[in-house]
Each structure stands twice: as C-alpha cells, then as structure tokens.
Amino acid sequence: MNKLIEDFLKHKEVVKGTSKNTSIIYGNHLEIFFDFLKKKFNSKDIDIDVIKKVDSNIVCDFMKSIEKCNKAVSRSNKLSCLRSFFRYLKQTKQINENPASDVDSPKIGQRISKFLSVDEGKKLLSVIENKRDYAIFILFLNCGLRLNELVNINLSDISDNKLTVIGKGDKERMIPLNKTCIDSINDYLQTRDDKLKALFVDSKPDPVYNKKIYSRITDKHIQYLVKCYIKKAGLNSKISTHKLRHTAATIMYQNGTDLKELQTILGHVNIGTTSIYTKASNEQIETAINNNPFNIGG
C-alpha cells in the first residue's frame, strides 16, 4: 500500500477511532484514485509532489471517470473519502489547500428503504425451526443489530437481561433484552454442548476423530441463512441482514420509540442517520389524511 494512504489510515484508526472495515473501504477508494492519478500524470507511483499538483478540476475529472461504473451513493462516498484524505494532508502541513472541498457531491435521490411489516416478520419467524437460527432472527428484529455486531457477541456480553454490544469505532452500548430475546437465547443454549465463548456457533464434522468441530458463526453463513429463510417464507428476495436492522428500527419508531432512544439502541453517532426511519409509511399517511377533521364526509 502507498505510504501516503497507509499513514492516513493509521491516523483515522488511532486518532478518529475508525473501524478496520471502514479503513479497508477508504483504502480501496484511495487506491482507485491513485490509479487515476498515475494515468493522469504518467507516474509509476504517487508521492506528495504529485498530490500537490491535484486541484479541484482533477478531482472533478476523477468523479466523472467513475460515473459509468458507480452509482451516486458510491461516488458520494468516494468524494467524502477524498475530502477526508486531503483534509488530513492539509492538517499535517503536507499541502496548502483541500482540492476536494469545493467539489459538489453527486445528487442522491431519496429512496424508500425496504423493510418487513410486522406480519411479514412474524411469517419469517414462523418458518424457522432451528433454535439457534430462531434466536439470531429474534435479535435482529428486536434489537436492530448490525451483522458484525451479532456475529461478535460473546456469552459474557449478556448479563442481567442486558446485551453489551461493541459497535462501529469500538464504541460500546448496552441494549435491554426483552422476554422473547431472553427465552430464545436460553432455548438455544440448551442445545449447546461446546465450550466456546461465542454466543452463536457453527459446527462441522471432523472425519478423523469422528466428532464435531465448533467455531464462531461467520457473516457469510448468517447472510446465507437470511437468504434461505426469506425464500422459504415467500418474502421479498432483496431483504438482507441490514434490512432486518431497518425493520427493527422502523417498527420501534412506529410503535412509539423516541428518536433519541432509537439512536442509542442502534449505535448511531449522528441522529441524522437515525432520522431515515422516521419516514411515515403509506398506511400512516392515509390514516392521517382520513383522520383530518376537515374530512367532513369521512
């Protein structure tokens, strides 16, 4: 990896508390940008002297070059990464100006997030017979966990009917567990015969010693389970683990959870991120119109 990128990512992780996953994404964005600069300046490598030649026009050229293969959201993320990178170089006195600061972000149209209704959520749960899988989906739908947060739960993280979660940037938060969560976890734990510290484990046969080999369940396995159970329940095939998080958040908000409380439950740093769940459903909008006191004949 280029030293400029490496130093920037170290700064983000150490000073800003950026997660490893975010660092990987930022690194990929910058590698793409550096490849563009190599062609632009006919250079084998990118050092600070090359970076000093970058102005807003070159950043605009880069953004234009990725239009065909990147949606607006992806282009916006790459521009945000460049702004952060150049801001770091300016703060460390390596450059004088941030050439990405005045470049306009791509316009991102508002999208209605897909999530399950309460009835669809119950239908999904009804097709799950495996106790481990049932507990996984119960936590998704009740606690609004991120996929990696759920995968990394240890048995010791559950105490006094509360779950301690390590979220983005290694930030810790505590989520109360309702009776359904507690019961589903206890039912699942009664089926366990291993001594791993992970809450959710997977197993495979060991043909040599004729026994099971246990390990922490993986992200990919849970994504596979979601795909299988969504199909089995006959629901929208685009529902993913993240959409299950959306489902939990949206239904909590629609049932009276305060926006600030929801921010804490979900582990959002910015309440603006949480506000995407406040968009009213079509049914809520229709009810509001019908209940208007000026609906004389309603």
221 a catalytic residue: no
Active-site annotation holder among 29, 75, 132, 268: 268
146 a catalytic residue: yes
Quickly list H helices, 108-240.
Answer: 118-126, 131-143, 147-151, 179-189, 219-232
> How far are the Cα atoms of 80, 81, 117, 119, 191 from residue 128, in angstroms, in the given order?
41, 41, 17, 15, 16
For residue 291, give both structure tokens: 């209940």
132 a catalytic residue: no
Active-site annotation holder among 29, 78, 132, 245: 245
- CA dist., res. 277 & res. 248, Å (int): 10
Active-site annotation holder among 168, 192, 216, 221: 168
44 a catalytic residue: no
Active-site annotation holder among 40, 52, 123, 242: 242
Cα–Cα nearest to 222, from 197, 250, 198: 198
- CA dist., res. 88 & res. 81, Å (int): 11
- Taking phi over 0 as left and psi of -120 to 50 as alpha, with beta for the rest, 144 belongs to left
Active-site annotation holder among 38, 87, 146, 221: 146
For residue 17, give both structure tokens: 């508390």
168 a catalytic residue: yes
CA atoms within a 13 Å half-sphere pointing along the CA-CB vector of 63: 26
**Pair 116, 243: CB distance under 8 Å:** yes
**H/E stretch holding 255:** none
Question: Which residues are identified as catalytic?
Answer: 146, 168, 242, 245, 268, 277
